[in-house]
Structures are given as structure tokens and as C-alpha cells.
Structure 1
């Protein structure tokens, strides 16, 4: 671990390594752990083994096997509580977005001009997102990108007709939305266009169409 590790790209590399380890049946060792934050970071990225000055300075003999057991228990209980709080906040956000979009889509009847309908939805999401668009069930973008620029919404048609089915979990999420009849909040990732850390909330609407809103 490095002291300046907290970047989205670095985190993405470690997340990819954790997925690879799981797929091939390997285990991860995190080295260079010097404080409790790095210990938590390693634990939350699926580390099995830990090494660093935070646990013990180098010695001429091996330390007793169970010397850190009780300390680990306390730390891991604390980590679990942090994760619980994080996931509860994510579920609350997802619930709030589902409630708001259910209300909006029912109060604003969908029409043939999807760009106009998208704009009507976007102006009611001032605090929630900076980009919004619609795709069909095959991943083709059916609208312009609604983009919030200096507090105003603009419709940018450049990506209309693009296909997004290649994105990770795209098809899986469409099926989940159909089966569960509710929206899904993504994990944090780096946006291709802006390089910002964002989440995407995807929401099923009528006529096998799906609304996507990007959140900073």
C-alpha cells in the first residue's frame, strides 16, 4: 500500500485484482500497512493476509501466533459496522431515487418525443444528477444526453444511437430491473468522459425503455 493510494484508478486496480483472485482461487496479501485506515482499506478489498509496521516491527524471532487475535477482533467488528453504515446509506439513496422517479414518471406522461420528456424529468433532478439519458432493452441510446451545465440543462445529441450493451453488468441490470421492477444504484467508478468518480442509477420506464442518471 502507498500513502497516496486513495484514487479511483488505484482503487479500481485493487478491485480488479480481488475479482481475479476470487475467479482463479487465489488469496491476496497486502504489504506496507502502517495505520488502521490502511488495515481497513485492505480488509474491505478482500485481503486474506496482512503485513506491515502497524502490526509489528521486524524482529529476529517470530511473534507468538495468537498475539494479535483479540486486537484483530475489535478492529474487524469496527470495520463491519463501517460497512453496514455505508451499505445502509446506499440503500437509502437507492430507495429515495426510486420513490422520486416513480412519482416523476407517473406525473409526467411519456410521449413520442423522448428528448422533450427527458428534459421534463431532468429539470426535476437538479440536486441528484449531472447527466441523464434513455436506452432501449438492447442498449441503444434513444435520446440525447441531458447535461447540466452551469445549473442549466442542455440536450446534446452526439451520442444518440450509441450502443452501451458492452458495459459491465449492463444486460444483467436490465434483467434485474425487469424482475424487481425498481431501479439499481451502481458502485463508484471513473467516468470515461469526465474522469470523475460517479455512480449511475438506472430505472425502468414504459415501453421497454430504461432511464440512466449519473451522479457525482
Structure 2
């Protein structure tokens, strides 16, 4: 499509809308504004026009502004809490300091439109200028009532530190990678990191490009509040019934919740069994006068299938034993770990307090071991008020037991 076909036929440019659904109410909360043009008997996406680097920025802004005006006129007829998500090229936005964008909003405000209904989407890693200047502009736009969404999180050169600096209201995550039969484990780690970032900065997670059920499941499981994609609804020139997918989403969520409850119950049962086994073993060895280095060697013999590393720490995180570690040729002693401190690890002191108060051992979440690189869990167990046992459980054992992965 020739860019001139767009510029000379602005009257044929029309807004299309892709519905965005909420997890809490299972209904439409907003629409992303997309551009289409009717040429002869075909409707064409304006995506190639906006992505064409040979098209001058002022022409793209002109078409963007035309679409925005038409969309606002249309969406005013909808419920007042329906949001309008508007894409803006971040470099074009900075070219005129957002003036043309805000001017349209202020003009429409005079006609009764609430600026607070607009969410401006930008892609942070496309920006080529000074980040502080962008931050100042976005802060100003937010003070005018517009919400900010940063799109394409987790792709290409996304920088979580820069995203946090921009303080967006919404983080938008592309789930197309999950269409692969075996997405990398790193992708799931990135999703988890983004969900933590969103919680820290008070942002809402919106997952887009949901085309199949398992993508929706991962979005729900990783803190998604808003969902968008062909699995729920394709872009349309018309708005839809807000409750169109309510029953579908309720049904899907019920299955997700049932599955997650079963997984947590199974994990709890494994934890109880592991706790009981360690209790029995420690009661047996307490009859003998042995130091902690002897104790972990005895436990290694009993836990040879369940563990690859065992050690004991005090309440401040200092090791009171070395490590006993299972390598290719069996268990070995690593005395050099004696008195190493692990209090710097996330949740370490919180876990110590948890064991002291509840008098029980428990599994950690899944994480990658620093030395081996494999996915593991650690079982933490209170020996007494001041000393705590840590049993690192290998991936092979987790894989063989339902609910541990």
C-alpha cells in the first residue's frame, strides 16, 4: 500500500477497536485503537504505514490525530468507564512534546469527554533520546489525567530499570512467544520478574496477543489483570457487548483455579512428607553425640535420591557446617563453606522467622541454582531455635513428583 493512498484518502481512514477484558469483572474494560483504510473493496491495516520509516513523522502524526478524533467521537457513546488505549510512537511524541496529542484531548474535553479515559501506549525501547526528558513529558501527560502504558515488555531491548523510572500505570506484555511448542525457561523467568516490578511500582499487567487457552492461563497465573487477543475477540469497527466473554472467562478461570489449588495441595502434601522424614531421621541421630558435619553426611546417605546438597546455618545465616555435595562420583565434603553467610539471599531471614514461629519445614519456590544452573527447590527445616537445615532438591526429583514443578 502506497503511503500516498492513506494521506489522500483520510476520509476513508476508520478506527477499529480490539477489546480488552478484565480478570476481576470478566468484562470489557477498554479498547485498543487500531487504524484501517477502505480502498476499493478491501480493508487494509495501517500498521505498515506507521512502521514505514520512509514516511515523514508529520504525516504519521496527522493520520494518528485523525484516528484519535474519530475514535473519541465514537467511544463517547459507550459507558463512561470504558478506556481508550491509543498507540503513540515515542519519538514522534517527543518531537512536538506531545502538544498535538494533548491539544486534541483538551478540545474533546470541552465537548464533555473525560481525558481520564485515555491510556497512551508507548514502546520504551524504541526511544532514541534522553530518558530524563521522556520521563518529564510522561509525568506531565499523567498530571493531565492520561494513563501511561508501556508496551512490548520483555521483548527486544526492554530495560526494566528504565521502565520503572517511567512509572507507567500499565505494563503490556506480548505473549506471542508462548505460541511456540517449547518456549525458553528464561521467558517464564522474565514474566515473573515483570510481575514483581509491576507490584513494586503499582502498575497493572495487561497481556496481549492471547490466541490460545494456555496463553490465557499463563497470563492469569502471572498476575494479569487485563487480557487482549484473538482468543477473546478480534479487532472490529463496532463495539461489543461488555459481557460477551463473561461466561467463557469465568469457566476458564474456574479451571485455572481448580488446577492451581490441586497443585498447591500436592505441594503441601509433599512438604508434610518431607518434614516428617527429616523429623524421624533427626530424632534417630540425636541419640548419638555427633557434630553437624557428621550429621549432614549421615543425612546425605538417607537422602541420596532427594538431595544433591545439604548444609546447616544459624539464625543469622552463617553456616555451622560445610556442604555435603553429590557430584558425578557420589557425595563429597566441601569444608570451605563453613561460616559462609547467606543472609543476603532474598527471603532468607524471613524464612528463618517462618520456621521459628511455625516449627515446620517447607519447600522454597522454584529457582535456578547458582552453581549448577539447574531448576531446584530448597527444603528448609528447623533443627532447633537457633540452627536450621537446608536440603537442596534436584530437578530430577522434582520432575518425578507431581506438583513439585
Q: Same fold (TM over 0.5)?
A: yes
Asked if 1:43 is matched to 2:205, the reply is no
2:322–2:334: 8 Å Cα contact kept in structure 1? yes
Alignment: residue pair count: 216
For residues 311 and 295 of structure 2, the distance between their equivalents in structure 1, rounded to whole angstroms, comes to: 11
Pick the aligned partner of 2:292 from 87, 91, 114: 114
Aligned equivalent of 2:332: 154
- 1:112, CA displacement in angstroms? 5.2
Question: Which residue does the alignment assign to 2:375?
Answer: 197
Partner Cα distance (2:301, 2:198) in 1: 44
More moved, 4-13 vs 127-136: 4-13
Shift in CA distance, 15/59, structure 1 to aligned 2, threshold 3 Å: same
Q: Is 2:209 the partner of 1:32?
A: yes
After superposition, the C-alpha distances for 1:22-80 in whole angstroms (9 at most, x for unaligned) are: 23322100112121111001101110011112112222223321111110010000000
For the pair 1:57 / 2:234, whether they are aligned, the reply is yes
**Are the counterparts in 1 of residues 356 and 385 from structure 2 also a CA contact under 8 Å?**
no
Residue 199 (structure 1) shift? 0.7
User: Which residue of structure 2 lines up, in the alignment, with residue 140 of structure 1?
Assistant: 318
Q: Which residue of 2 aligns with 1:22?
A: 199
- Corresponding residue number in structure 2 for 1:172: 350
Bigger Rg, which one = 2
Instruction: Say which structure, 1 or 2, has more relative contact order (CA 8 Å, 6+ apart).
Output: 1
Q: Contact 2:324/2:333 (CA < 8 Å) preserved in 1?
A: yes
Please give the secondary structure, in 2, of the residue aligned with 1:123.
helix
Normalising to structure 1: TM-score of the pair?
Answer: 0.93
User: Which residue, out of 258, 263, 266, partners 1:81?
Assistant: 258
Change over 3 Å in CA distance of 1:9–1:141 after alignment to 2: farther
Give the Cα–Cα distance (whole angstroms) in 2 for the partners of residues 129 and 68 of structure 1.
46
Answering whether residue 394 of structure 2 is matched by residue 210 of structure 1, we say no
Which consecutive residues of structure 1, in runs of 5 or more, have no partner in the other structure?
A: none
Deviation, 1:111, is 4.2
TM superposition shift of 1:151: 6.8
Cα distance, 1:202–1:7 mapped onto 2, change above 3 Å: farther
State the alpha-carbon separation in 2 of the partners of residues 92 and 194 from structure 1: 27
- Among 248, 270, 277, the residue aligned to 1:100: 277
Partner secondary structure for residue 382 of structure 2: strand
Give 1:215 deviation, angstroms.
Answer: 1.1
Unmatched segments (≥5 aa) in structure 2: 1-174, 395-405
- Whole-angstrom distance in 1 between the partners of 2:384 and 2:295: 12
Q: 1:145: how far off?
A: 1.5
TM-score by length of 2: 0.51
